[in-house]
Amino acid sequence: MKLSKVLKEKSITLSFEVFPPKADSAFESVKQAAYDVAELKPDYMSVTYGAGGSTSDNTLAIAEGIQKEYGVTTIAHLTCVGATKESIRNSLLNMKNAGVENILALRGDKPKWMDGEPFTDYHYASDLVEEIKKFGGFCIGGACYPEGHPDASGKSQDIENLKKKVDAGCEFLTTQMFFDNNIFYDFLNRAESAGIKVPVIPGIMPITRASQVDNVIRLSGCRLPESLKNITDRFADDKDALLQAGVIYASQQIIDLIANGITNIHIYSMNNAEVVRRIRDNLSGIIKE
């Protein structure tokens, strides 16, 4: 099912993201972890793409398996990094044949192991969106950054580039993680003022392990609110306490979003079914099946 239809059919949607294995040798264990998440029957699931397309086959295999085994609509990620017109066309044909109808089109970042220019046929996500739109048959989504894309000169340029992506054919947007809902609300106002009318789906990352904190800041550049920093500092050496506190913090973020009229929530699951199950259970009286 196309995501545009999924978002219209339910008053509130809850979705999860999973990632494929970095090495083929880990495929079965990672696939099972993704399937454990799928067993929770989210409204849809997003399957990420390895750096430079390094896990593209596994991405599609997991996305196809989730749909066939659990009947959960999936979105497969696709990036510009190292992509040629031929490789993108082959990817789109494979997705079509696998029954995957939704794509998250991303520019992506150059991986450390890649030599040469990573962006040849496609320089920006908007270029990739145009190519997918031309191919036809897919519901296309894109990424957005409430705290600003790291390569943009400022928030105004970031919104201008986002508008180009939407004008090229994006039907929905999913945000980078954020930990302060006011940042998201400000971003939403700026996007709407720029004429961006497609659904903007907030991405929530539960912080449940101390090691996540430095990685999140380093990789995403997101600001950690003092309240969350206090939690991670206080419970850094208590695994169970930090898991519980992180789940509660993410749950509170989601409750606030819903209370303020946000109807679609996306959770970065890190392939951890227990974490997303706990969050879903915390929302059982708010998001009804």
- In the chain, the number of structural domains is 1
Active site residue 171: no
Judged against a pLDDT cut of 60, whether residue 137 lies above it is answered with yes
For the ranges 40-49, 52-61, 124-133, 187-196, the lowest mean pLDDT is seen at 52-61
What's the domain range around 18? 3-282
Residue 153: pLDDT band with limits 50, 70, 90: confident
Q: Is residue 289 part of a domain?
A: no
The active-site residue, picked from 9, 17, 86, 226, is 17
**Residue 281: what are its φ and ψ, rounded to 5°?**
-65, -35
Rounded to an integer, what distance in angstroms lies between the CA atom of residue 125 and that of residue 165? 7
Q: Is residue 155 part of a domain?
A: yes
Terminal-to-terminal C-alpha distance of the chain: 18
Two tokens, residue 136: 């036809």
17 vs 51, more confident: 17
Question: pTM of the entire structure?
Answer: 0.94
Residue 289: pLDDT band with limits 50, 70, 90: low
CATH (domain of 74): 3.20.20.220
Residue 117: pLDDT band with limits 50, 70, 90: low
Q: What does each C-alpha distance from 129 to 27, 92, 213 come to in angstroms?
A: 29, 12, 32
Residue 215: pLDDT band with limits 50, 70, 90: confident
Q: Is residue 218 part of a domain?
A: yes
